[in-house]
Amino acid sequence: MNHKFLQIHPQDNVLVALTDLRAGEVIEFEGKKITLKDSVPAKHKFVLTEIEQGGYVYMYGSVVGKSVTPLVSGSVLTTANVKHEANSFSEKTETTGWTLPDFSRFERRTFKGYHRSDGQVGTANYWVVIPLVFCENRNVEVIKQAFVDELGFGKPNRFKSLVQQMADLYKTGKKEQIETLQVEEFVEVSASKIFKNIDGIKFLTHQGGCGGIRQDSDMLCALLAGYINNPNVAGATVLSLGCQNAQPAILKEKLNAINPNLDKPIILLEQQKEGTESNLLSQAIKQTFLAMAEADQQERQDAPLSKLTIGLECGGSDGFSGISANPAVGHVSDLIVALGGKSILSEFPELCGVEQELINRCVDNTIAKKFSKLMVDYAASAEAVGSGFDMNPSPGNIKDGLITDAMKSSGAAKKGGTSPVVDVLDYAEYATKPGLNLLCTPGNDVESTTAMAGSGANIILFTTGLGTPTGNPVTPVIKISSNTKLAERMPDIIDVNTGAVISGEKTIPQMGEEMLEHIIKVASGEIKSKAQLLDQDDFIPWKRGVSL
């Protein structure tokens, strides 16, 4: 790889700057000399051959934009001279072949997980406390305050210590010393846990369950059912008010649809039946404690890597994400699929422009048609409120080189590797088929990771170029940096750095295999992801309105 610029695909008419390039600098590419008309920041793109006004911009071999003005060779792409444009798609026209990666290194490898009676294996063992309606959020918080520290799951708050020091200085007339105080480095404390085999008790508060349309409540119940069925969950305490739209009967119906033979302990209490709040909470706390004591009897045991279900996510993406982190994750996805496991690719607004490729990778026409319909309906709902997929890139994405949704999507789709698409899931549907699954979610980071855990992901790989602390309550989220500068600047949130791909020190397969080794350690409980260490438990259900 040339370490100053890169052509991603032979058909591309733009090059990617791998380092900052100066206006006037002469670039030589395949015997042709190009004088840069503008300074090109690293991660941004500049024109290889002239593009007429209205002409297409190609990256990854796909259309990612249309020129607003004539673009001369050596000019940088910006939001002022390029607008969103994407490849169209139609019915399945062919079946894309697949060459399996060399997975021999991992064929006999195992991880230590929690085996469930339905055959799923958890990478963690959590108890969850769930409100069916936002009215119960306060009661959930009271249970949290009662349990977390007493069970040994709490952590010291180093910022509370900082405030105490500041208060002492202020009271003693030494306010001028406050600026010199240092925050202690985060150190994980090995607390004395009551339950040795329970990784934590998690509290999934939300703002739904009533007051909206009935479809939202049904969808919320389906999502919560997925969380209860997730192999990382030992059991659940569910609080209901009684009069809300999200009724316990709907939750039970959704659970039965996912897993008719579910035998996990579920404690369901209704406040309007229990009477006083004190009675509700005391019953919830006592029953939960006894159920957790039973769940604590289960221990980690060896499981094949085919029992992994990997969620594939990106957020805070940059111009390097589609070159380093996402393809490396794609290689991991292909390895997991080759080993008999599952992977889940979501964020439908970020598959704009690569639909035909994914359609052709679908194993049959029924699955392909479902994907097409979900994409068309989603795009139409966005346009109906005056938005569209073209508005998906954030200011941070644009600043760091992703100036159109198609450009962002072409790189984001690389997380799905090259394996066949075995199933297409609507939001809150559960992944059951080994192989690559497409899951309809927004591109919003937390709404998407929330959905993947609800569809059975027991590990989530999350690529980022700008940095984001996103995590999940029940599924370990492994954060992957697209560039070394980010990994060095924000080491508290980054687990794996793929910047070595940009510098040419490692190949995509090498990086993917290194990543899978890290996954095995997290899945076995040997190490925790940075999001777990930070207790980053983000949970946002999608209300199925327009969210990009």
Quote the CA–CA distance of 141 and 129 in Å, as a whole number: 10
* pLDDT surpasses 80 at 268: yes
- Residues found in the chain: 548
| Secondary structure percentages of the chain, helix, strand, coil, to 5 | 35, 20, 45
Q: Is 454 exposed, middle or buried (0-12, 13-18, 19+ CB in 10 A)?
A: buried
How many alpha carbons lie under 13 Å from residue 21 in its C-beta half-sphere? 28
* pLDDT at res. 97: 83
Q: Tell me what the mean pLDDT of segment 261-282 comes to.
A: 96
Question: At residue 260, what is the residue type?
Answer: P
* pLDDT at res. 96: 78
| Bridging pattern class, strands 421-425 and 435-439 | parallel
* pLDDT surpasses 70 at 546: no
Q: Tell me what the mean pLDDT of segment 309-336 comes to.
A: 97
* pLDDT at res. 86: 86
* pLDDT at res. 545: 59
Question: At residue 405, what is the residue type?
Answer: D
- Binned at pLDDT 50, 70 and 90, residue 389 comes out as confident
- Binned at pLDDT 50, 70 and 90, residue 16 comes out as very high
In the numeric block, the tokens 């579910």 are attached to 262
Question: At residue 230, what is the residue type?
Answer: N
Quote the CA–CA distance of 418 and 354 in Å, as a whole number: 12
Phi, psi for residue 221 in degrees, rounded to 5:
-65, -40
Which tokens sit at 540?
Answer: 């946002």
pLDDT tens digits for range 459-473: 999 999 999 999 999
Neighbour count for residue 115 (Cβ, 10 Å): 17
Compute the mean pLDDT over every residue in the chain, rounded to the nearest whole number: 94
- b/e 171-210 (16+ beta carbons within 10 angstroms → b): eeeeeeeeeeeeeeeeeeeeeeeebebbbbbbbbbbebbb
